Amino acid sequence: MSLGVGWNSHQGVIGEIAKPLAAPSYSLVLRLKELEGQQESLLKSVICAFNQLLDLRDLGTGIHSTRLAEWAVRIARKMGLPEADL
């Protein structure tokens, strides 16, 4: 079965277009890393926002949650966890 006149000449063009899709380019990998960093930052911001809402709801609870977070960071440092994970 023939695919028609000119098919072979188009195969080269299609192959050239598909090359970047087959192997991710360096700029795409960098962009993906950037987006992952933004996602992590957003997640941390959301957690902090919920913590602040909790603090506003009840002063006693707010003080407790702040002290608890401080102790968690101290323990993590003693355990040798990386600063970026704190």
3-40 confidence digits (pLDDT tens): 555 555 555 655 666 565 556 678 888 888 999 999 99
Residue 1 has pLDDT above 60, yes or no: no
Q: Is residue 56 part of a domain?
A: yes
Q: For position 6, what pLDDT does the model report?
A: 52
- Residue at 1 is within a domain: no
Residues 6+ apart with CB under 8 A from 51: 65, 69
**How many structural domains does the chain have?**
1
pTM: 0.49
For residue 27, what are its two tokens? 């700029």
What percent of the chain is predicted at pLDDT more than 70? 71
Q: Which residue has the tokens 């102790």?
A: 71
What phi and psi, each to the nearest 5 degrees, are found at residue 6? 90, -5
Q: Is 19 a member of any domain?
A: yes
Q: What is the pLDDT of residue 50?
A: 86
Domain span at residue 58 reads 7-85
